[in-house]
Amino acid sequence: MSWTRKILRVNLTEGTCTPEPLNMEWAKQYLGQRGLATKYLVEETDPNVDALSPENLFIMATGPLTGTMASTGGRYSVITKSPLTGAIACSNSGGFIGNEFKNAGLDMIIFEGKSPSPVYLYIENDKAELKPADDLWGKSAWEADEMIHAKHQDPNIKIAVVGRPAEEGCLYSAVINDLHRAAGRSGVGTVMASKNLKAVAVRGTLGVGGVDQPQEFFEAVNAGKKVLADNAVTGEGLPAYGTQVLMNVINGVGGLPARNMRDVGFEGAENISAEAMNEPRASDGKPNLTTNGACFGCTIACGRISTVDKTHFSVKDKPQYHGASGGLEYEAAWSLGADTGVDDLDALTYVNFICNEDGLDPISFGCTVAAAMELYEEGQISNDETGGIDLRFGSAEALVACVEAVVSGTDFGKTLGMGSKLLCEKYGKPELSMTVKGQEFPAYDPRGIQGIGLAYATSNRGACHLRGYTIASEILGIPVKTEQADSDGKPELVKAFQDATAVVDSAGLCVFTTFAWGMEDIAPQIDAACEGDWSIDKCLEAGERIWNMERQYNNAAGFTADDDTLPKRLLKEAIKSGPTEGQVSKLGEMLPVYYEVRGWTPQGVPTAETLSRLGLS
């Protein structure tokens, strides 16, 4: 099995914690984590519910391989309706807490209702209770983490927690776990705080067993680990350079957006790259990068642990930030850096620390600052409104001031907490919001790289690279190289990536394994661990089922084909210079084909035949 077959249902309104059996019929259709928790959400809530109301569910879910010996098998996800987008939200995180949930005997925790006062959930194996969190409310994620560890006098407790912006309603608040890992996207932390749930602390020592075919699982897992170790990307590139190695690559191929996606190509890219993170700095001879790090069970270890130059303006009077902490990943470095025009590596690292400390999605935060910078330079936002911040593109001081404004809850910080879409609407310039379905873009320009534009437009959680990472094929040549400027074949490519990713996200594995693993490596691990037929075809069918279920949820929530689009800037304003000069997104050519490939109507609705084939209704 590998599922523990047990859910904890927490009614925050009533203050009760009740175990219940996992619905195994659903598990055999939706696997776990992303797919299975979404099934519960779909079955138990109205898609039109206000995301921040007690009627919304907030689910923390593991996959069947979470906590097993499978490489990267430590993932968990948060599934809920997003307050940022109004669409389905599923944010995936690594670290160690997913494994701890599993060791406490839980596949999933479903939170209902809203507590009358701040609480945190404490789980110790079979014991689960809600505890008062009045003293934790108003504290940063890091402070609350430390306080909970101190209360229980147990350093092995794993904690997922929200920071102060979530309490204040910042729409892109993350759930931070293990200090430096985050269920970051779509404002899932905002939902958690709206329920007066400050943290979830868990200690599990029950072990993870129940693997369906132990010998086969052992062999499949070991074979998978060998593939990861032997692969140049997962065995060498990612541990040494992390995801940040992409900064120069994407800039080099004409795919790096800059300054609120007004430009493509950033002159300061190499100053904020992985290579720059490895260089000794003048003040102390040490590089930004201290070491790499791994999440539970991971044999890749792409994580970055960094320091900020102690003499840098952002931290020179703040010794609490002089130690090593979670460093820049590519998406954060892009949004905080290229998209704001800032090429100060220390400033970006400090702002990234603050995003971890207080639970912000750095992608959405950086992109919102970028939109605010454009509004400021156009004269829409005044100096008075910013509280004196000279909010120009390229200003590291402004970027630092903005993150401090958001976490300390100033008036302008709260304005930034609205996210790019509402911010631009507030100032009468909705066209300056670089979002899809209200969620800010990651670090690849849809004009310069065609497939990723279609993936963004059709992503079920709004603009997102991780729902269908066609960059692997279009730029990196994994598994095969496709031409980045071509739109032909991209609908099929996007669908293939979307369905396969849904499987990985539902299994308890990290999507980065797919730089080396194909479904022929993944399916045998799932099949050996779980009862039932998890052949490659069945896995991919489950992935397609999950994708269509998410689509149906969004359609029922009021989304239509009109929402499968990109900002006008990316459809109409051609790239001004560089290797992709003259290009715009060819979304209009790709989208109808994508609908057809998906088995959807021209209006983007799954046909009865498609639903029937996938066992959906």
- Least separation in angstroms between residue 230's CB and other proteins is 12
493 binds other proteins (CB under 8 A): no
CA distances from 408 to 28, 165, 296, 441 (A): 46, 8, 32, 25
330 binds other proteins (CB under 8 A): yes
- Least separation in angstroms between residue 332's CB and other proteins is 11
Give whichever of 74 and 413 is closer to other proteins, judged by the CB atom. Answer: 74
Kind and range of the H or E element at 199? strand 197-203
What is the rounded CA–CA span in Å between residue 400 and residue 344? 11
Among the listed residues 245, 494, 549, 557, the single contact to other proteins using CB under 8 A: 245
Among the listed residues 243, 459, 460, 554, the single contact to other proteins using CB under 8 A: 243
What is the rounded CA–CA span in Å between residue 383 and residue 496? 47
Residue 442 CA to chain centroid, in angstroms? 10
Give whichever of 212 and 270 is closer to other proteins, judged by the CB atom. Answer: 270
92 binds other proteins (CB under 8 A): no
Among the listed residues 246, 400, 424, 507, the single contact to other proteins using CB under 8 A: 246
Kind and range of the H or E element at 183? strand 181-183
- Least separation in angstroms between residue 261's CB and other proteins is 18
481 binds other proteins (CB under 8 A): yes
Give whichever of 251 and 307 is closer to other proteins, judged by the CB atom. Answer: 251
What is the rounded CA–CA span in Å between residue 166 and residue 183? 13
CA end-to-end span of the chain = 27
567 binds other proteins (CB under 8 A): no
Among the listed residues 15, 287, 579, 599, the single contact to other proteins using CB under 8 A: 579
What is the DSSP code string of 477-518? -SSS---TT--TTHHHHHHHHHHHHHHHHHHT--GGGGGT--
Per DSSP, what are the bridge partners of residue 158? Answer: 202
Backbone torsions φ then ψ of 550, nearest 5 degrees = -60, -40
- Least separation in angstroms between residue 329's CB and other proteins is 8
240 binds other proteins (CB under 8 A): yes
Stretch that binds other proteins, among 288-296, 347-355, 577-585, 586-594 (CB under 8 A): 577-585
Among the listed residues 125, 248, 290, 410, the single contact to other proteins using CB under 8 A: 248
477 binds other proteins (CB under 8 A): yes
324 binds other proteins (CB under 8 A): no
Stretch that binds other proteins, among 68-76, 99-107, 235-243, 427-435 (CB under 8 A): 235-243
Going residue by residue from 580 to 609, which x/- string records binding to other proteins, judged by CB under 8 A?
Answer: x-----------------------------
Q: Which amino acid is at 46?
A: D
Among the listed residues 259, 262, 437, 465, the single contact to other proteins using CB under 8 A: 465
Stretch that binds other proteins, among 273-281, 382-390, 522-530, 607-615 (CB under 8 A): 273-281
515 binds other proteins (CB under 8 A): yes
Taken in order 590, 595, 596, 598, the sign of the CA dihedral is: positive
249 binds other proteins (CB under 8 A): yes
232 binds other proteins (CB under 8 A): yes
452 binds other proteins (CB under 8 A): no
123 binds other proteins (CB under 8 A): no
Burial (Cβ within 10 Å: 0-12, 13-18, ≥19) of residue 9: middle
- Least separation in angstroms between residue 512's CB and other proteins is 7
Give whichever of 277 and 529 is closer to other proteins, judged by the CB atom. Answer: 277
User: What's the alpha-carbon Rg for the chain, to the nearest Å?
Assistant: 22
Strand ranges (DSSP E) for 437-590? 439-440
Q: 534: closest CA among 65, 6, 59?
A: 65
Does a cis peptide bond (omega within 30 degrees of 0) precede residue 446? no
Among the listed residues 331, 344, 346, 499, the single contact to other proteins using CB under 8 A: 331
- Least separation in angstroms between residue 237's CB and other proteins is 4
Give, as ranges, the residues between 274 and 313 that touch other proteins (CB under 8 A): 274-276, 279
Cβ contacts of 209 within 8 Å, gap of 6 or more = none
What is the rounded CA–CA span in Å between residue 109 and residue 100? 13
347-373 b/e (C-beta count within 10 Å ≥ 16 → b): bbbbbbbbbbbbbbbbbbbbbbbbbbb
Strand ranges (DSSP E) for 82-218? 88-93, 108-112, 119-124, 127-132, 158-161, 175-177, 181-183, 197-203
174: its two tokens:
């993350």
Give whichever of 138 and 489 is closer to other proteins, judged by the CB atom. Answer: 489
User: Pairing mode, if any, of strands 76-81 and 88-93?
Assistant: antiparallel
Q: 419: closest CA among 351, 360, 368?
A: 368
Among the listed residues 472, 528, 593, 616, the single contact to other proteins using CB under 8 A: 472
289: its two tokens:
């990068």
- Least separation in angstroms between residue 246's CB and other proteins is 4
What is the rounded CA–CA span in Å between residue 505 and residue 500? 9
- Least separation in angstroms between residue 228's CB and other proteins is 12
- Least separation in angstroms between residue 526's CB and other proteins is 22
Stretch that binds other proteins, among 186-194, 231-239, 520-528, 537-545 (CB under 8 A): 231-239
What is the rounded CA–CA span in Å between residue 511 and residue 467? 10
Angle at 93 between CA 509 and CA 520, to 5 degrees: 15
Helix/strand/coil for 203: strand
Among the listed residues 83, 86, 237, 543, the single contact to other proteins using CB under 8 A: 237
What is the rounded CA–CA span in Å between residue 606 and residue 617? 10
Q: Name residue, tokens 């156009």.
A: 378
- Least separation in angstroms between residue 486's CB and other proteins is 12
Among the listed residues 189, 239, 242, 468, the single contact to other proteins using CB under 8 A: 242
- Least separation in angstroms between residue 12's CB and other proteins is 34
230 binds other proteins (CB under 8 A): no
Q: 331: closest CA among 242, 253, 230?
A: 242
Among the listed residues 238, 295, 342, 593, the single contact to other proteins using CB under 8 A: 238
DSSP 446: T
332 binds other proteins (CB under 8 A): no
373 binds other proteins (CB under 8 A): no
Residues of this chain that interact with other proteins (CB under 8 A) are 231-233, 236-238, 240-246, 248-249, 252-254, 270, 274-276, 279, 329-331, 465-466, 469, 471-472, 475-478, 481, 483-484, 511-512, 515, 578-580
